[in-house]
Structure 1
Amino acid sequence: MSLDLSILKQLNNILKNKGYYYKNFKSYLLPLKDKLPLEISQKIDNIITKENPETSELDDIVNDILLEIYSIKRGDYNRLKEPLVIKFSNFVKTLEQLKKIGIETAEDIIFHFPYKYDILSSSSNDRCVLTGTFEDSKIVKTKNGKKILEAVFKGDTGYFYGVWFNFNNRYPLLLLKKGENYNLYGKLQNFNGLPAIVHPEFLSTDELGKIRPVYLLPENVKDNLYLSLLKKVYMEYSEHIVETLPLRLIIKYGFLDLKNSLRYIHFPDNINEFKKYNLLSHRRFVYEELFYLQLGLFIRKNSYGEVRGIKFDIDKDILLTLKPYIPFKLTDAQKKALKDIFNDMKSSKQMNRLLQGDVGSGKTVVAFISGVLAVKNGYQVAFISPTEILAEQHYNNFKKLFKDDFSSCLITGSLKQKDKKYLKALVESGDISFIFGTHAILQEDTIFKNLGFVVIDEQHRFGVMQRKILIEKGYTPDILLMSATPIPRTLSLTFYGDLEISIIDQLPPGRKPITTKAFRQKEIGKVFDLVKEQIEKGFSAYFVYPLIDESDTLDLKAATQAYEQVAEFFGEDNVGILHGRMKAEEKNYLMNRFKNREIKILVSTTVIEVGVDVPHATVMVIENAERFGLSQLHQLRGRVGRGGDQSFCYLVYSDKISEDGLKRIKAMINYNDGFKLSEIDLEMRGPGDFFGTRQSGLPDLKFSNIIKDTDILLSAREDAFEILKEDPYLNKPENRILKEMLKFKWKDAYELVNIG
């Protein structure tokens, strides 16, 4: 059954005014009777003959209509996932090319939208139509011996040219007849002092004034062939395109139904229709994408809340016992974050909180304090880091603060099997309270006696699968994620909408802002002299490069080459090289030599980007700085200034720097605040690239841009929240569509609805 907006509006009135509907059911149902299938129409006839039908009977009628409208038969939607080659084998070469851009199924091509539209008229800007009668043509030879075909046409406003560099005896010469009228379409240029179109397309009179969608396609797929395929696919599969938004939302925003929205996007008939419906249709898809994203995130969040967690006992007396361990005053932002975490810990629901803070803002101390409270309640804490170097650093920092008052261990891949087995036995018996390591400690055969608190450091996401591992092992600990990548609010809503968020936006008192300066590549001598000053004062320095060897297509220095240059100036014994291809043991050995001042300078690729803490390192030199993203530059800068000494960041850039590269470097010089830089970064790069390769388990954003579409995002979020507040498991007939679509749009979220 296709969507009839009058039916939708009437149903919406019924759902909004149930009381009136029960009293005046005849006036509500009679206008619908003739628009519905026979079976439902007969049910309406039966109920109208009754004086006082049961409200349950009246509800059943409404549910039947809703289910008829939104009857997503699994087979129907799955039909859109059929490979195109099954029914369109005559387009096999085109389909091979389309695979390169991810178009393989009917769904792929139907939801591959135009990136612009050409208006086939004489008043268009970039491309236009020139109409006139063909007068004459000649073939001209250039100095290089190449041939050009020049055809002269006479229009209402004077003469113009059609010009061909590629032509033959058949085309376009056989097409051109003297005295006949032609419509030439293409890019308007100047040729021999007259308007001209090079390699024009000939349009029929019927095509004038029409709108032509333009798609991003592989180079050797012709537009007209693609459009022909698209039309055939749309005709073949249109009956399987089922409505994907609930009726209340279609009516609330005045959207068109799905089929019509797709029709107006791909096949607008004329300029008036285009102006009226195209923008509205695009807005619908932006809204729908963000709505389902928010719906999935809320369901995920609600499912976390339903996991019974641990109710920790946190009172003043316990907090006072921690005071002697913290030799400095916590900032107000740290105190606020701790308050959020304590409130979560005191609740019987499982905590799922993201702790966001700029580099050096003191997130780790907040995590330590929270973890110690869990231990004081008789539970174990797993502190998980992305690398062994970081895991070891957190372990050492914990020992510095809390000495041996709380049993702790470090479990990493480089441990001997015998030692690992011994430590795991102590963890299983409950003799060790704090366990530091990488993700492997959750995934391997580590058995905890009483795991109550998990800290995940520097992970953009801790996904459904990791939680599943914990639940399958019988653990439901409170989970605290930490990220030193500040994220603007709209992105937080989009990527972390399933988590509670605490932000530490203050640096500890006494922390000196890092002085940042930029130098051209030819000024590297100055940079070496500035570094030398710091080395002579007993401090250490990093030199960071983007690559390890020159096999990359980008013309960059390799870290190995750079090492030789730095070693020549500062002496080989003072310099070490760290890169991504080294084994974990080699990296650890070198980092420890640097930490212990056995070497003074570390030449590195970006492997030292996250979290490494060397208090005596006061200089960060970043070569080819224009090749790094703003977030990366800020993270790298944060590796210095970890002690109380004035620190420096020197950005060295090449002559090939782009305008964007220069903007990034200026932003680094002007701002030390990571949140401010993240906003600039988001504006410059757009949301698609902000996270780079993200393993988030979230659907891709195909239609929306969360910078430009913030208002739609907030509306979609509010709508998703309201729907789930009324119907947490999406059981109502009018919400059945949502549960069905989550199966296709976001498998994780659907599984969580089912778990619920």
Structure 2
Amino acid sequence: MAEAAPPSNEKKPKSAPQRAMDKLGLVRDIDLALHLPLRYEDETTLVSIASLRDGDTAQVEGVVVRSEVQFRPRRQLVVRLRDDAGDELVLRFLNFYPSHQKTLAEGARVRVRGEARGGFFGLEMVHPSFKAVGEGAPLARALTPIYPTSAQLPQAYLRKAVASGLMRADLSEQLPPGTVPPGLPPLREALAYLHHPAPDVSVAALEDRSHPAWQRLKFDELLAQQLSQLKAKQERELQRAPAFAVRPGGLQEKLLAALPFSLTEAQRRVVEEIARDLGRETPMHRLLQGDVGSGKTVVAALAAAIAIEQGWQCALMAPTEILAEQHLRKLVGWLEPLGIRVARLTGSRKGKARREMLAQVASGEAALVVGTHAVIQDQVEFAKLGLAIIDEQHRFGVQQRPALRSKLQDGPLEPHTLMMSATPIPRTLAMTLFADLDISTIDELPPGRTPVVTKLFADDKREAVVARIRDEVAAGRQVYWVCPLIEESESLDLQNATATHQQLCEALPGQMVGLLHGRMPAAEKAAVMSLFSGGQMGVLVSTTVIEVGVDVPNASLMVIEHAERFGLSQLHQLRGRVGRGAVASVCVLIYTTPLSDTAKSRLKAMIETNDGFEIARRDLEIRGPGEFFGARQSGAPLLRFADLAEDEPLVRLARSAALKLLAQHPQAAERHVARWLGSKTDYLKA
């Protein structure tokens, strides 16, 4: 007799809808309960076909009197529906399956919902939703939720999954009495209401999220954000870092005396804030923000001087080689005359030169290391790292930042961390996603910076722009021309950098026109930048690799091709490459029609203001927090319900509640964060 097969340990493969749910992050019952409808459909009432008007969205019921596949002008299923009053409506399906034909066969009674449109043969509905019903079948008692989903996840399947998740999830109140603002319902009640609102509810209050049920969810979400950030801050304060005292007459004062310019009041203030942090035994975790050209690099150099004087090393990491080179040039000029060895570590540095640099870093001979993410690679070992400076930190990937943090956590003492950003963070965003950071702001530009005038030109006015370039170059000034693509793309009708470079070479005979893009070898990039910085090259055609850090005071004109394709902060960063000297400077935005509403809003903001903080505020309004500082939010946006442009009062309430919870009810705080953020909390700490 054959032996029975042993039981299989293999897991059953997941169905397509289950895989789609995993992809949407719908893994736990609470995830399903918190997956809220995008909108609602009213299936609680039936109307007669005779009462329908063109443009009405309504539900009707009747019997199919004809169902046929027609082939003019293309294959389509055309169904004629007659209601009990004898009036008829055409249903048209341009995409259909055998199951459609089966449900909509002649003689079937169906309930149909869609938008009525005036057709050639009277009113019709194109691709309405439909279901077979028996005569006298009861109507829905609540509005029907329409959930965010994907092609592999039908609404009917998702509705059942959400309903069952809602029943199984633990929605008990975890927050101590007095935590939730008065007037907001319990969580279970709020969720039940939002998943299945009564038919008489105001759809406007549901859609604008002003209803108390929505306010409760927003508050809970913001509270989880605040708790997660403040807990990360508390954990950091338990760590230890080297304490650096500023010595009178020491390296920082020597550097200040050697600088060819004076600091602004704002720079002096933030230098003092950083010095106070460096003097403490807990690791600094500070963000230095300031508009383009406000002088962040010199503040970083003065911070580095404090650590270096006391025998510790400093690392400065930038997202691109061009930005790292710009920092390097300035820092070498300021620090090497004072006897400080500066090492350069980038991905393009190979062979013997790289090995020598690594040896200098490992021995401590190099006091300051400047580079790209190459600084955090495994083979890089610091003798004694005391301060890490990360420029444009939000541009590092969400995997790179934890790698950097683990790199900085080798010894018994943590290094201090200073992050820098030329994209100022609007206040409400700083209060939520960046609540774990101390923030220093340089809110004043150095004297001598001339305001940049911004002008809009349609694409058919390119010749006038080229004529302006000719005048600028003839007067001895320099010009940037920025393009969004390097090579031809069949899907986007965009001028590319290579073609534009060729056109400008032909239009400007006798002038040196350079080309710079991300795919060029590092040595070639450096050579082009050197010619432009040195003034020998009059025009530089570039992709956005010159977005940050490039400092050429003689450049007076910035042309941005297809400006409608760039984000608002990116446009402002690019504009900041000019206006760095005493010459009046212009930024020309060339756009192609038709413009989307978002593109119009961006270009309007660029024309109306040069203020980076106002630009950041508008950028947040246009894009929302999910994209504004997108790297901090890996995958799904971590704020799904709250709107930072509108919900500042709730942010303030959540912040004060979070402080009280952490102090008085730490276990309730932990449960709340686990419910809302699950495994996403690590990304917030990065």
TM bracket (short chain): 0.7 to 0.9
Correspondent of 2:258 among 321, 325, 334 = 325
C-alpha separation in 1, matches of 2:312 and 2:558: 40
Contact 1:411 1:441 in 2 (8 A): no
2:463 is the alignment partner of 1:539? no
Specify the alignment match of 2:309 in structure 1.
376
The structure-2 alpha-carbon separation of the partners of 1:227 and 1:588, relative to structure 1 and needing over 3 Å to count, comes to same
Q: Report the equivalent of 1:578.
A: 516
Amino acid of the structure 2 residue aligned with 1:314: V
Aligned to 2:455: 517
Distance change >3 Å, CA 205–CA 276, structure 1 → 2: farther
1:186 to 2:114 alignment: yes
Name the SS of the counterpart of 1:471 in structure 2. coil
Tell me if structure 1 keeps the 8 A contact 2:289–2:439.
Answer: yes
Match of 1:418 in 2: 352
Return the match for 1:245 from 174, 179, 182: 174
AA in 1 matched with 2:268: K
- For 1:242 and 1:643, the matched residues in 2 are separated by 61
| Residue 164 (structure 1) aligned to one of 78, 91, 112 | 91
1:665 is matched with 603
Q: Which amino acid aligns with 2:492?
A: L
What residue in structure 2 maps to residue 648 of structure 1?
A: 586
Q: Answer with 1 or 2: which has the greater Rg.
A: 1
**1:325 Cα deviation after fit:** 1.5
Cα pair distance change 1:433/1:187, threshold 3 Å? same
Residue 375 (structure 2) aligned to one of 441, 460, 463: 441
Match of 2:327 in 1: 394
Q: Secondary structure at the match of 1:472?
A: coil
**194, 203, 206: which one pairs with 1:265?**
194
1:470 Cα shift? 1.3
- Point out where structure 2 has 5 or more consecutive residues left out of the alignment: 1-10, 94-99
Give the partner amino acid of 1:264.
Y
Q: Give the match for residue 25 of structure 1.
A: none
- In 2 relative to 1, CA 196–205 (structure 1 residues): closer, same or farther, beyond 3 Å? farther
| Pair 1:479–1:210, CA change in 2 (3 A) | closer
Q: Gapped runs of 5+ residues in structure 1?
A: 1-84, 177-181
Q: Is the 8 A contact 1:408 1:436 kept in 2?
A: no
Corresponding residue of 1:45: none
What TM-score, normalized to structure 1? Answer: 0.76
Query: What's 1:40 paired with?
Result: none
Contact 2:227/2:673, CA 8 A, preserved across alignment: no
Residues 612-623 of structure 1: matches in 2 within 5 Å? 612-623=550-561
Flag the 1:449–1:117 CA change in 2: closer, same or farther, 3 A: same
CA distance in 2, matches of 1:222, 1:423: 57
Counterparts in 2 of 1:427 and 1:665: CA distance versus 1, 3 Å: same
1:212 equivalent to 2:144? Answer yes
Report SS of the residue matched to 1:681.
helix
Relative to structure 1, is the Cα distance of residues 205 and 292 closer, same or farther in structure 2, using a 3 angstrom cutoff? same
Does structure 2 conserve the Cα–Cα contact (< 8 Å) formed by 1:152 and 1:160? Answer: yes
| In structure 2, distance between residues paired with 1:666 and 1:573 | 34
Q: Which residue of the other structure, out of 262, 277, 286, is the alignment partner of 1:353?
A: 286
Count of aligned pairs between the two proteins: 649
- Of the candidates 633, 645, 669, which is equivalent to residue 707 of structure 1? 645
Pick the aligned partner of 1:285 from 205, 211, 217.
217
Whole-angstrom distance in 1 between the partners of 2:113 and 2:376 = 63
Preserved contact between residue 255 and residue 335 of structure 2 (Cα < 8 Å): no
Identity of aligned residues (%): 34
Q: 2:549 aligns to what SS in structure 1? A: coil
Identify the residue that residue 455 of structure 1 maps to in structure 2: 389
Match for 1:441: what amino acid? Answer: V
**CA displacement 1:218-255 (0-9 Å, x = unmatched):** 34754334434544x438xx445354732336665565
Structure 1 Cα separation of the partners of residues 433 and 685 of structure 2: 19
Q: 2:8 is matched with which residue?
A: none
The answer as to whether partners of 1:293 and 1:699 remain within 8 angstroms in 2 is no
CA distance in 1, matches of 2:508, 2:159: 64
Question: Any idea what SS the aligned residue of 2:583 has?
Answer: coil
Tell me which of 149, 155, 161 is aligned to 1:223: 155
Tell me the equivalent position of 2:489: 551
> Following the alignment from structure 1 to structure 2, what is the Cα–Cα distance between the partners of residues 475 and 646?
49
Distance (whole Å) between structure 1 residues aligned to residue 273 and residue 536 of structure 2: 42
1:742–1:750 Cα contact (<8 Å) kept = no
Letter in 2 for 1:113: L
Offset of 1:523 from its aligned partner?
A: 0.8
Decide whether the 8 Å contact of 1:363 with 1:482 is kept in 2: yes
CA distance in 1, matches of 2:385, 2:129: 72
Read off the aligned partner of 1:356 and give its amino acid letter. Q
Greater shift, 739-748 or 399-408, is seen at 739-748
Measure, in 2, the Cα distance between the counterparts of 1:499 and 1:750. Answer: 11
What is the aligned partner in structure 2 of residue 310 from structure 1? 242
Question: Residues of 2 paired with 1:474 and 1:255: CA distance?
Answer: 47
CA distance in 2, matches of 1:380, 1:169: 75
> Is 1:119 matched with 2:42?
yes
- Give RMSD over aligned pairs: 3.8
- Contact 1:100/1:218 (8 A) holds in 2: no
1:474 shift after superposition: 4.4
Q: Deviations over 1:18-67 (max 9, x none)?
A: xxxxxxxxxxxxxxxxxxxxxxxxxxxxxxxxxxxxxxxxxxxxxxxxxx
Contact kept? 1:514, 1:646, Cα under 8 Å: yes
Q: Which residue identity is paired with 2:377?
A: Q
Deviation at 1:390, TM superposition (A): 2.1
Q: Which residue of 1 aligns with 2:5?
A: none
Is residue 684 of structure 1 aligned with residue 594 of structure 2? no
Show CA shifts across 1:457-499 (max 9, x none): 1212784542332121445222211100122111122232111
Distance in 1, Cα, partners of 2:684 & 2:152: 39
CA deviation after TM superposition for structure 1 residue 537, in Å: 1.9
Tell me how far 1:395 sits from its aligned partner.
Answer: 2.1
Aligned counterpart, 1:56:
none
